[in-house]
Amino acid sequence: MANFNIDAQALNTYDAIVVGSGISGGWSAKELTARGLRTLVLERGRDVRHITDYPTTNMQPWEFEHRGQLRKDVKDANPIISKCYAFYEGTEQFFVKDAEHPYVQEKPFDWIRGYQVGGKSLMWARQTQRWSDFDFTGPARDGFAVDWPIRYADLAPWYSYVEKFAGITGNKDGLDVLPDGEFLTPHEWNCVETHFQKQIASKYKDRHVIMGRAAHLTSPKQIHYDQGRAQCQHRTICERGCPFGGYFSSNSSTIPWAAKTGKMTLRPDSVVHSIIYDEKKGRATGVRVIDANTKQMTEYYARLIFVNAAALNTNLILLNSISSRFPNGLGNDSGTLGKYVAFHNYRAGISGEYDGNLDMTTDGRRPNSPYIPRFRNVYKQETGFLRGYAAGFQAGRSSQTDMSGMGADLKQSLLNPKLGGWHVGSHMMGETIPKESNYVALDQSLKDPYGIPQLKIAIAYDDNDEKMIKDYQEQMTEMFQAAGFTNIRLRDDKRNPGLDIHEMGGVRMGKDPKTSMLNKWNQLHAVKNVFVTDGASMTSTSTQNPSLTYMAFSARSVDYAVKAMKKGLV
Amino acid sequence: MGTTRPSGLIREVLIDRLFVLFGWSDRRIVRIFEKFLLNKKLNAASVERRNALKTLAGALGGLVALPGWATGWTAESVQLTKSFLPADQIETLAAVVDTIIPATDTPGAKELNVSQFIQKVVADCYDKAAQDALSNGLVLTNDLAQKAYGKPFGGGDATQRTDLLKQMEQSTEPAQATFIKLVKPLTIRGYLNSEYVMTNLTHYEFIPGHYHGCVPVKK
């Protein structure tokens, strides 16, 4: 028996374990295998292979039984996930149903999840703006959180590194608030977007309208063809999975790349219960995994462990990793684990109309839109609230169909729609302040279907967010008026936190082990062979979409970890 | 439609994959299609498309994996096994949609199976109140037809049927207006989203391949 156990242990031992195969886990896997490490990638959901497992990707609109509309029983059974803009008849298979993974809402929180190989990288919105030093120095300047242990210069080469491989479309705009990257051909503007850009540039010296940077192959290079990916075809049904690999996902890019090394073992249906800490060795030795089908627990061992389970589930795993050395969760000497969670405030929007450029229109579709980088409180504190917001912006024309009448007349007008005027719209992406009172914790009694404690979530807006919403509405109204837009309407949809799908923090980085969980290498201060490089590691949220930053952190952190391991430091 | 080449979408996907995998030119790939698919008549029938793809995949020595979606085609995506409406109401519904959007020099809503779509979407996506409103509305429509022209709704000529639905649309009777408010937008949606209309009349582009921001409006 003893021999058998030793064999089993050897069989389950790898050089590295990556927990999660989403946007950051895919990168961890790619970088670890590229350095020759035998890497086990654990994914709690099912396998989703590129192309083969995108069942709706080539379905025409008329091929959907309900033309895209959700069934009532699906909506009734899933009040949370049904709120997500990307959840419809063509994408149901990629989202976690409400009943599949219950959690406790101490305060209302819409937790949007994708449990499968590739995670949410399959359905993400693909916006990839770099963060700037205004983001990394923000907490120290404004005193609302601990100082980031890194600066933009630490991350800049890693941004370049991941951008080149992932393929990012964008324009070099030369803005300090939104640094340029390694860009493929930018997307085109339409006439009214250009008009808005010019009006804003002439009226505000510090406000810029740029084309969004997005993970789309507008002009693929050899490195993208080598991944089996091809030029984006502008179908704009990305969330169903793309057979061209036109946008970046783990499934189309990092996971097959890691597989090609022969060093990766991908194990879907593997729910990580906790990380094993060995008190004698003073480090983590592996993870406990519950097979999603058999519910049996197995242990896997490795020298390095990367936790990329997505922000809140990474918190859950660390909180559930209890030992006598760490009774309050792995590496939680500071007591900050699960706390200082923040997100992006997407509540407000604005719309309007424009009477100019009526002789021009657009042709084709664009999976991207212009972007207004943060302009509030950038160089100094100048408003009654902390931090600021970025904004999406878009203009378009659509055909207007006269639906009056009945019979042949109606048919005639349906088939001869008139081109409507230009409509314009914007939405905010506000930075929220990480607070101790915005936290996640293990519920003391409720368990999930695998016997793991349910996550209790207590995250809410505060007065700073309300002020920011008001300011966004005022400033955007002024900017829309300056551009000659009319019929301006404001929106505050009062959505719950979570629906932004940008939850971050709980395992924050920092210089001081007394007030943070991770050091500047995304390494647990107290457990040197455990790294967290997903959204959980964020000290503050900035106003930019975070995925590109998780990719850069993952690549940078693996580079450090493998070098440190070879030197015997971890 | 070409008879020796896979139809648009499949062709584009395959050309793209083959270009990526081997760097072959579009022309070379089309030649290969033609060589191996010479006697394959490729039309909308899904079985043939599938077989053609399998032939192609086999011809290339299995290098092209058959994607999952290639086995998922069905000729008619809206399969209605049983309706929540009784047979006579189903008949009336078909007459109603055909009155709202009749056949002219192009097919009308009835021929495009729009009434099947309405039954499917109301049964699966709407609540009981909407299902009742549809069912009761069809009964009501027949009753009103009897009063107006002494026949069930479908028995009237085009003018009688159209006039009746117009009258119901204008009616101050909530049941009449509610029915039209439910059934008319669904008819329009089912019609405009049908394969026939999107393919032949409104020319939907599934794969635009481009975005041009500033083009002159076509006069």
Asked if A352 contacts A480 with a C-beta cutoff of 8 angstroms, the reply is yes
Choose among A54, A244, A359: nearest Cβ to B16.
A244
A418-431 and A344-345 strand pairing: antiparallel
What gap in Å lies between CA B192 and CA B202, rounded to an integer? Answer: 8
Count of CA atoms in the C-beta half-sphere (13 A) of A40: 24
Distance CA A338, CA A536 (A): 9
**Least Cα separation, residue A43 to chain B (angstroms):** 22
Neighbours of A154 (CB within 10 A): 16
Say how far apart CA A303 and CA A248 lie, in whole Å: 29
The CATH code for residues A12-145+251-343+436-459+503-567 is: 3.50.50.60
CA A210 – CA A240 distance, rounded (Å): 27
Residues in chain A: 570
| Alpha-carbon distances, residue A50 vs A22, A241, A270, A342 (angstroms) | 13, 8, 20, 32
B82 touching chain A per CB within 8 A: no
The helix (run of H) or strand (run of E) holding residue B138 is helix B128-149
B84-99 pLDDT, tens digit each: 999 999 999 999 999 9
Confidence class for position B8, pLDDT limits 50, 70, 90: very low
With a CB-CB cutoff of 8 Å, which residues 484-523 of chain A face chain B? none
3-class SS at A78? Answer: coil
SS3 A39: strand
Q: Is A1 on the interface with B (CB under 8 A)?
A: no
CA atoms within 13 A on the CB side of B90: 12
Task: List the 15-34 stretch of B: residues with Cβ below 8 A of A.
Answer: 16-17, 19-21, 23
Nearest-CA distance B184 → chain A (Å) = 9
Would you state the pLDDT for residue B35?
39
Q: Which chain A residues in 53-82 lie under 8 Å from chain B, judged by CB atoms?
A: 53-67, 69-73
Distance from the B98 Cα atom to the nearest Cα atom in chain A, whole angstroms: 8
Whether the predicted pLDDT of B70 surpasses 50 = no
Query: Does A234 contact B211 at a Cβ distance shorter than 8 Å?
Result: yes
Q: Is the pLDDT of residue B2 over 50?
A: no
Residue contact B69–A59, C-beta within 8 A: yes
Residue showing tokens 């015997």: A568
The token pair at A124 is 């993400």
Selected for mutation to probe chain A from B214, B217, B218, B219 (highest A CB count within 10 Å) is B214
Q: How confident is the model at residue B29 (pLDDT cuts 50, 70, 90)?
A: very low
Residues A240-283: pLDDT tens digits? 999 999 999 999 999 999 999 999 999 999 999 999 999 999 99
Give the A window 75-134 contacts with B, CB below 8 Å. Answer: none
Q: Would the CB atoms of B217 and A419 count as touching at under 8 Å?
A: yes
- pLDDT, residue A367, reads 98
Instruction: Give the tens place of pLDDT for each residue, A62-82.
Output: 999 999 999 999 999 999 999
Q: Which residues of B touch A365 (CB under 8 A)?
A: 208, 211
Q: What is the pLDDT of residue B80?
A: 60
Q: Would you state the structure tokens that stand for residue B130, as one six-digit string?
A: 């909407």
Nearest-angstrom CA–CA distance, A379 and A398: 40
CB proximity list for A49: less than 8 A, separation 6 or greater = A117, A251
Q: DSSP label at B102?
A: -
DSSP state of A254: I
Question: Is there a contact between A62 and B127 if contact means CB atoms under 8 Å apart?
Answer: no
Q: Enumerate the residues of chain A whose CB falls inside 8 A of the CB of residue B101.
A: 407, 410-411, 414
Residue A286 CA to residue A271 CA, distance in Å, equals 14
Q: Give which of A52, A65, A242 to mutate to test B binding, by max B Cβ within 10 Å.
A: A65
**CA dist., res. A554 & res. A534, Å (int):** 8
**Are A407 and B120 an interchain contact pair (Cβ–Cβ within 8 Å)?**
no
Tell me if B109 sits within 8 A of B115, measured CB to CB: yes
Please enumerate in sequence order all residues whose Cβ is within 8 A of that of A239, keeping only pairs 6 or more positions apart, or say none: A86, A90, A91, A94, A122, A123
Sort A83 into a burial class: Cβ within 10 Å, 0-12 / 13-18 / 19+.
Answer: middle
Q: Which residue of A has its CA nearest to B68?
A: A52
Q: Indicate where chain A has its CATH 3.50.50.60 domain(s).
A: 12-145+251-343+436-459+503-567
> pLDDT class for B45, splitting at 50, 70, 90?
very low
Residue with more model confidence, B61 or B140: B140
Nearest beta carbon to residue A228 from set B20, B190, B211: B20
- Partner-chain contact A362 B210, CB within 8 Å: no
What average pLDDT does chain B have? 76
Confidence at residue A153, expressed as pLDDT on a 0 to 100 scale = 98
Interchain contact B210–A (C-beta under 8 A): yes
Q: Which residues of chain A have pLDDT under 70?
A: 1-5
For strand A360-364 and strand A418-431, is the pairing parallel, antiparallel, or unpaired? unpaired
Q: How far apart are CA A244 and CA B14, in angstroms?
A: 10
Cα dist. A261→A33, A34, A38, A116, A162 in Å? 6, 7, 10, 22, 18
Report yes or no: A197 at the B interface, CB cutoff 8 Å: no
- DSSP assignment of A456-522 equals EEE----HHHHHHHHHHHHHHHHHHHHTT-EEEEEEE--PPTTTTS--EEES-B-S-TTT-SB-TTS
**pLDDT at residue B65 is higher than 70:** no
Residue recorded with tokens 């609230």: A385
Phi and psi, residue A397, nearest 5°: -120, 145
Q: What gap in Å lies between CA A436 and CA A515, rounded to an integer? A: 11
What are the distances in angstroms from CA B36 to CA A70, A141, A201, A294, B21? Answer: 41, 68, 58, 46, 19
Q: How far is CA A60 from CA A50, A68, A540, B75, B194, in A?
A: 20, 10, 42, 12, 10
Three-state DSSP class for A235? coil
Tell me how far apart the alpha carbons of residues A287 and A273 are, in angstroms, rounded to a whole number: 7
**β-pairing verdict for A418-431 and A348-354:** antiparallel
CB-based contact A360 B124, cutoff 8 Å = no
Contacts of A359 in chain B (CB under 8 A): 216-217
- Residue A534 dihedral angles phi and psi, to the nearest 5°: -105, -165
Residue A361, number of CB atoms within 10 A of its CB: 21
Interface touch A60/B205, C-beta < 8 Å: no
Q: Do A62 and B193 touch (CB under 8 A)?
A: yes
| Minimal-distance CA residue of chain A relative to B165 | A406
Q: Which residues in chain B touch residue A408, judged by CB atoms under 8 angstroms apart?
A: 102, 104
A526: helix, strand or coil: coil
Report how far apart, in Å, the C-alpha atoms of A268 and of each of A251, A312, A530, B122 are: 13, 19, 21, 38
CA dist list (Å): A20 to A269, A377, A520: 11, 36, 22
AA identity, residue A125: A
Whether B213 sits inside 8 A of A362 (CB atoms) is: yes
Question: How do residues B152-173 score in pLDDT, each as one tens digit?
Answer: 999 999 999 999 999 999 999 9
Q: Compare CB distances from B16 to A57, A71, A230 and report the shortest one's residue.
A: A230
User: Is-contact A142 A123, C-beta < 8 A?
Assistant: no
Q: Are A343 and B192 in contact (CB under 8 A)?
A: no
Measured CA angle at B203 (ends B30, B17), to 5 deg: 30
Inspect the interface and report whether the beta carbons of B208 and A365 lie closer than 8 Å.
Answer: yes
Name the token pair of B119. 């039954």
Q: How many CB pairs below 8 A link A and B? A: 163
> Quick check: B184 and B169 in contact, CB under 8 A?
yes
Rounded CA separation A316/A481 (Å): 47
> What is the structure's pLDDT at B43?
34
Please tell me the distance from the alpha carbon of residue A2 to that of residue A13, in angstroms, as a whole number.
Answer: 17
Name residues whose C-beta falls within 8 Å of residue A269's C-beta, 6 or more positions apart in sequence: A43, A44, A45, A46, A47, A291, A292, A293
Q: What is the pLDDT of residue B82?
A: 74
